[in-house]
Amino acid sequence: MTEKKTSYLLFCSECGVPRPIPQYIMETYFIKGVDGVYCSNCGNKSIIPGYLKKIKNDL
């Protein structure tokens, strides 16, 4: 049986464009305390919700 990959979307708080949270951010930057990603549409920094950090830590 193959393992399902989970993808997380983050919606820009300014323009609403959805953006997948890249795997490297989920794995590396959460550990280093990065709190957001920049929107490729408007350049606004969207804060990564704390519950996603908790989910990632629980995995």
What's the total number of domains in the chain?
1
Q: Where are the beta strands (DSSP E) in 1-59?
A: 9-11, 18-20, 36-38, 45-47
Tens digit of each residue's pLDDT, the chain (59 residues)? 577 777 778 888 899 999 887 777 777 766 677 777 888 899 998 887 777 767 766 65
pTM of the model: 0.61
Instruction: Tell me whether residue 2 is in a domain.
Output: no
Instruction: Tell me whether residue 52 is in a domain.
Output: yes
Instruction: Tell me whether residue 33 is in a domain.
Output: yes
Instruction: Tell me whether residue 42 is in a domain.
Output: yes
Instruction: Tell me whether residue 4 is in a domain.
Output: no
Instruction: Tell me whether residue 3 is in a domain.
Output: no
The answer to whether 17 and 4 are in contact (CB under 8 A) is no
- Per the structure, the complete domain to which residue 34 belongs is given by 9-58
